[in-house]
Amino acid sequence: MAKKGNKKKSLAWTFRLNITLILAVLIVGFVLVNIFLKAETRHNKTFMLPDLSGLTVREAHELASELDIDIRLEVTDSIYIRGAKSGMITRQNPAPGSNVKKGRRVLLVINSINPKKVRVPQLEGLSLRQARTELSSYGLKVGKLIYVDDIATNNVLDQHYKGESIEPGTMLEIDTPVDLVLGRSENSVTYVPNVIGYKYPVAREIINDHSLNIDRLVLDFVAQTYSDSLNALIYSQYPPASDSVSFRLGSNVTLYLTNDPSKIIIPDEQESISEDKE
């Protein structure tokens, strides 16, 4: 009987020992795995991602080296922005200021080194407004409006590039202006619209809609990039806006641009209209 009791005690002790060893192995394993995962994921070790826009990929690598940050830069797409430096980074993901871990992959969109080219559409026979819409859909824009005597006012008679007729289907760089030769009947006149307070691209469309040309842009600041000009506001114009003084179609308008909104003053006529509405 004593031997059986000792044997049972021995088996129980062995069982408890095995359970203890298994638990110890599990605990040690858990601790080691946790330490390994923290090391692999750089637990709580992050840094702020700098703004890489305006840099080339090489310059971005140099900046990362100077700041002693470990990131993987990868170009995933390109777009074309007229006036911007070729190969310049335009967007990044994650965004600047994001907290990222060491070794994070940063996706970049750069300005195309070779501008995209598009085909010139057939514009002859369209109205001025239709031609502008058609050019815009192809990534092109209206250039100078050239008027000649014709019975159909604002009907497109020809399309020009650099002073010469250009055939439909000809390849041009995106955002290139195409000049339009338009008809003008004997008594056709237009009026200068008010574009004060508008951004330049919108003002240009309004001027074109009134069959006028912009012959000169005067900036009161130094534009660092092409987008600076596009975001500038019109604070003055010549001739001034009027619905009583008429001009021949194709007449010229000078626009004065600023990046200081405080310089924009609403004309007296527009102020009186606003007051009447109140």
Give the start-to-end residue ranges of the domains of the chain: 46-111, 116-187, 189-278
Per-residue pLDDT at 275: 39
CATH number of 116-187: 3.30.10.20
- The confidence band for 268, taking pLDDT boundaries of 50, 70 and 90, is low
Other Cβ atoms less than 10 A from the Cβ of 44: the count is: 7
Average pLDDT over residues 84-91: 83
| 42 vs 88, more confident | 88
193/112 Cα distance (integer angstroms): 37
pLDDT at 26: 78
Q: Where are the alpha helices (DSSP H) in 99-250?
A: 128-137, 200-209, 226-231
Q: What local confidence, expressed as pLDDT, does residue 3 receive?
A: 52
More confident residue, 39 or 171: 171
* Rg from Cα positions in the chain: 34
Place of tokens 């159909």: 152
For residues 256 and 41, the model is more confident at 256
Residue 278 confidence (pLDDT): 38
Segment 148-158 mean pLDDT: 95
187 or 6, which is more confident: 187
Residue 277's pLDDT band, with cuts at 50, 70 and 90, is very low
pLDDT in tens, 94-118: 998 888 888 889 999 888 877 788 9
The mean of the pLDDT values for the chain is: 84
User: Which pLDDT score is estimated for 269?
Assistant: 45
Q: How many whole angstroms separate alpha carbon 15 and alpha carbon 10?
A: 9
The CATH class that applies to domain 189-278 reads alpha beta
Taking 90 as the threshold, does the pLDDT of residue 28 lie above it? no
Domain 46-111 has CATH 3.30.10.20: yes
> Cα–Cα distance between 182 and 73 in angstroms, integer?
50
pLDDT value for 37:
62
C-alpha torsion 224→198→217→244, nearest 10: -170
